[in-house]
Amino acid sequence: MVDLTRPVYEGMPMWFGHQRTFTPVNQTHEQFKAMYGTKDGFYARNLVISEHAGTHADATIEYDPDGATIDNTPLAYYYGSAVCLDLSHVKFEGPEPMTHGSAGIEDVEIAERALAEAGEEIRPGDIVLAWFDYGDRWFPERKYIDENPGFSWEGAEYLAKKGVVNIGTDCNAIDNSLDNSFAGHMVCKKYGIVNTEHLQNLGQLVNTRFDYFGLPLHLVGGTGSPIRAVAVPRARLGSPETP
């Protein structure tokens, strides 16, 4: 099993428009014992967090006023058969990071050919995760939030037209951080699909098929949800050594 989830903690990197994360103590063991007069105590913290903090999945209502909330989105969008594309050649750098750092159709086709050479293909209903080789190199620096590559409209739509249900990334967003049109999200709006952001360890899954699990909390009216995302390589499914 490959853990794809970034840690949650106070001070974790966040996009500027979202709630900061706080984990204040609710009560210590000693406070509990003093309050209830018991021999043993219980320790608990509170969690103040955005629906879009850390490794999280979006519901379509985040970017579509007529979209579904997370509690009304089929769970099949958040788990199932998945492949990981190698988009590490798409770099947010140089004199035109918006252009060079946005994965277009040609970039996705390059990754698709590498996937085919490994004996796999993108199928309707797939979850597609994109490895830009970015998050694991720059997390938790501010650069991780402010200077990430992503998909152009054309690149994201290329995947959507293939019938994928969820586009994931190892970056802060599926859009290039300079893209104020939010192309990746707007493609998801047009095709009624979801996306997942802030994944880690995707380099271990490049050009393979695996089973992906990134289930959201059952948040009534939720626009998204933090998730615990994992991948189970197909070769290990059902094997005795699978954790």
Q: Is residue 42 part of a domain?
A: no
Q: Is the pLDDT of residue 9 over 70?
A: yes
Examine residue 14 and state whether it is found in any structural domain, yes or no.
no
What's the CATH number where 98 sits? 3.50.30.50
Which has the minimum average pLDDT: 4-13, 72-81, 134-143, 213-222?
A: 134-143
Sorting pLDDT into bands at 50, 70 and 90, what band is 178?
Answer: very high
Q: Specify the DSSP class assigned to residue 179.
A: -
At 76, the amino acid letter reads: A
pLDDT value of residue 181: 96
In what helix (H) or strand (E) does residue 167 lie, and over which residues does it extend? strand 166-169
Task: Please check whether residue 8 lies inside any domain of the structure.
Answer: no
Residue 41 domain flag: no
Query: Domain of 162?
Result: 56-236
In a domain, 21, yes or no: no
Spatial separation of the C-alpha atoms in residues 133 and 79, rounded to whole Å: 23
Q: How many domains does the chain have?
A: 1
* pTM tops 0.85, yes or no: yes
DSSP per-residue letters across 80-145: EEEEEEE-TT--S-SS-HHHHTEE-HHHHHHHHHHHHHTT----TT-EEEEE-S-HHHHTTSTHHH
